[in-house]
Structure 1
Amino acid sequence: MFEIVKAGGIMMGPIILASIVTAAIFLERLWTLQTKRVLPSELTEKVWRWVEQGQIQDKHIAALQQNSPLGKILAAGLANRNRDRVVIREAIEDTGRHVVHELDRFIGTLGTVASLSPLMGLLGTVIGMIRTFNAITTAGIGNPASLAGGIAEALITTAAGLTVAIPALLAYKYLRGRVQTLVVQMEKEAIKLVEALEGQSREVA
């Protein structure tokens, strides 16, 4: 393996670094975007119980903010529970934008890696071909050994770039879809909260 990397030339270093970054981001986001971490199943039931029984306190809201991404959104709604529905919606939407930004963190880097890796491989190919032509200029075409290094460098870097780009692109698409699914589910829970608070306000009135 080391011999292959060595034969790939100078561009193998950035390509290997890109592969490490891709793996690290993918594993970190897989852990962070687990449903139980973003949308704890018991959290919604607990919040509805507080709303129905009128037991919402500041300590509950503070705990929600530290609980999960969904908790932050619900806490924003509960913090404005005594205000107009439009204000509640705006508070939830504003918090939701920050939460989505946090869920999306690092995912854009995967898209960048997926775009750059083939280009790095192509650059390695060009460098390898330049070496090949230099060898031809120096030693002529009668010595195949003098051409092998440049050709090997060209082929190896191309393959390495694609090997990194394809998984990076798949990881990018998967995580984007994962975030979109979680956002839709959080929106549903937020709408339920707004309706519950509005219903409670009507009952009090």
Structure 2
Amino acid sequence: MFEIIKSGGWMMWPLMICSIGAMAIIAERFWTLRKSRIIPEDLVVQVWRLHKDNKLDDAMLRRLKASSPLGRIIAAGVGNSAHGREIMKESIEDVGRQVMHDLERFLDALGLIAEVSPLLGLLGTVFGMIEIFSQLMQHGAGDPTVLAGGISVALITTATGLSVAIPSLIFHRYFLRRVDEYVINMEAEALRLIEMMHGEREASL
């Protein structure tokens, strides 16, 4: 492996940094975007029971807000219950956008890696080809195997760039889709709970 990196030239080092960064972001996002952490299974049921028992005071709302992204969205709606349904809905949507921004943390960097890696690989190949033709001008093309070997070495950076970019792009799209689904589900759960609290919907928890 080290020989391949070495043969690819100095442009392999930024590609290796991109690769390590992409793997770190993917691992961190898989851990952070777990459904059990974002949308706790029994949280809506617990909030509904607290509401029925008249225990949704300010201290409980603060704990709810800090518990999870879903708790943060629910707390925004419940905390504005005195201002009417429209204000509550707007609060839920505003906080939902903030939560989406937090859940998309590092995804811009992952998308940037997916875009930049092929360009870095291509740049490394261009530099390699320039060096090959420079050597040909100095020493001639007496041995075709030297030319073929030089081209194969130059193409290593392109292959490496694509190898980094393809999984980075796939996971970037995957995580964006997952965040969108989480936010839609959380807003729907918060609105459903608020409608039940106002008697506009039957409690079906």
Q: TM-score when scaled to structure 2?
A: 0.92
Alpha-carbon deviation of 1:146?
Answer: 5.4
Where structure 2 has 5 or more consecutive residues not aligned to the other structure, the ranges are 201-205
Query: Retained in 2: the 8 A contact 1:11–1:121?
Result: yes
Q: What does residue 101 of structure 2 align with?
A: 101
Q: How far apart are the structure 1 equivalents of 2:153 and 2:68?
A: 48
Q: What does residue 21 of structure 2 align with?
A: 21
Per-residue Cα deviation, 1:102-122 (whole angstroms, up to 9, x for no partner)? 011111222211111111111
Q: How far apart are the structure 2 equivalents of 1:83 and 1:50?
A: 20
Q: What does residue 133 of structure 1 align with?
A: 133
Q: How far apart are the structure 2 equivalents of 1:159 and 1:78?
A: 53
Q: How far apart are the structure 1 equivalents of 2:63 and 2:147?
A: 67
Per-residue Cα deviation, 1:80-133 (whole angstroms, up to 9, x for no partner)? 122211111121111111100001111122221111111111101101100110
Alpha-carbon deviation of 1:40?
Answer: 0.5
Q: Which amino acid in the other structure matches residue 64 of structure 1?
A: L
Matches within 5 A, 1:33-182: 33-144=33-144, 147=147, 150-182=150-182
My pick for the range that moved more, 167-176 or 50-59, is: 50-59
Q: TM-score when scaled to structure 1?
A: 0.92
Query: Retained in 1: the 8 A contact 2:92–2:187?
Result: no
My pick for the range that moved more, 142-151 or 171-180, is: 142-151
Query: Retained in 1: the 8 A contact 2:15–2:161?
Result: yes
Q: How far apart are the structure 2 equivalents of 1:12 and 1:170?
A: 22
My pick for the range that moved more, 17-26 or 89-98, is: 89-98
Q: How far apart are the structure 2 equivalents of 1:3 and 1:14?
A: 16
Matches within 5 A, 1:188-199: 188-199=188-199
Q: Which amino acid in the other structure matches residue 123 of structure 1?
A: L
Query: Retained in 2: the 8 A contact 1:128–1:151?
Result: yes
Q: Percent identity between the aligned chains?
A: 48
Q: What does residue 203 of structure 1 align with?
A: none
Q: How far apart are the structure 2 equivalents of 1:113 and 1:65?
A: 33
Q: How far apart are the structure 1 equivalents of 2:67 and 2:57?
A: 15
Q: Which amino acid in the other structure matches residue 58 of structure 1?
A: D
Query: Retained in 2: the 8 A contact 1:89–1:194?
Result: no
My pick for the range that moved more, 173-182 or 137-146, is: 137-146
Measured on the aligned residues, the alpha-carbon RMSD in Å equals: 1.6
Q: Which amino acid in the other structure matches residue 63 of structure 1?
A: R
Where structure 1 has 5 or more consecutive residues not aligned to the other structure, the ranges are 201-205
My pick for the range that moved more, 185-194 or 139-148, is: 139-148
Q: Which amino acid in the other structure matches residue 115 of structure 1?
A: E
Alpha-carbon deviation of 1:59?
Answer: 1.2
Q: How far apart are the structure 2 equivalents of 1:196 and 1:165?
A: 47
Alpha-carbon deviation of 1:145?
Answer: 6.7
Q: How far apart are the structure 2 equivalents of 1:140 and 1:192?
A: 77
Query: Retained in 2: the 8 A contact 1:81–1:197?
Result: no
